Amino acid sequence: EAQVTQNPRYLITVTGKKLTVTCSQNMNHEYMSWYRQDPGLGLRQIYYSMNVEVTDKGDVPEGYKVSRKEKRNFPLILESPSPNQTSLYFCASSLAGEAFFGQGTRLTVV
């Protein structure tokens, strides 16, 4: 089954404690991206990757890092999380056109 898998689905952490949200897709898509979703603000792109070892900033990259060492994986790294990064995060992949989204990760930073 074609899918994008994110882990964890829910995470509560403390300010400053590094965390990684994993994302994996089994569709051999070249393009992957991360979004955050906040009430009233819709989906905002954090980072995207056109292919292995090719990543670039989206609209709201501050406080986040990504890596793309393999085609299937695109982890999102928060080196020092802060409360304003409390949000719902989605990973997505696409080949051309239609984007497939993961189930989402609800992150709370206290």
Partner 1 sequence: GQQVMQIPQYQHVQEGEDFTTYCNSSTTLSNIQWYKQRPGGHPVFLIQLVKSGEVKKQKRLTFQFGEAKKNSSLHITATQTTDVGTYFCAGPSSYSGYALNFGKGTSLLVTP
What residues line the site for partner 1 (CB under 8 A)? 31, 33, 35, 40-45, 48, 50, 56, 58, 90, 92, 94, 96-104
Report in angstroms how near the CB of residue 104 gets to partner 1 at its nearest.
5
- Name beta bridge partners: 22: 7
Q: What pairing do the DSSP bridges indicate for beta strands 42-51 and 54-57?
A: antiparallel
Local structure of 89: helix, strand or coil: strand
Report in angstroms how near the CB of residue 4 gets to partner 1 at its nearest.
9
Task: Output 63 or 104, the one with its CB closest to partner 1.
Answer: 104
Peptide bond preceding 8: is omega within 30 degrees of 0, i.e. cis? yes
Report in angstroms how near the CB of residue 52 gets to partner 1 at its nearest.
15
The Cα–Cα gap between 19 and 17 comes to 6
Task: Output 63 or 101, the one with its CB closest to partner 1.
Answer: 101
Task: Output 45 or 86, the one with its CB closest to partner 1.
Answer: 45
DSSP state of 18: -
Report in angstroms how near the CB of residue 14 gets to partner 1 at its nearest.
26
Task: Output 14 or 54, the one with its CB closest to partner 1.
Answer: 54
Nearest to 48 by CA among 90, 106, 6: 90
Which two structure tokens, joined as six digits, stand for 64?
């986040």
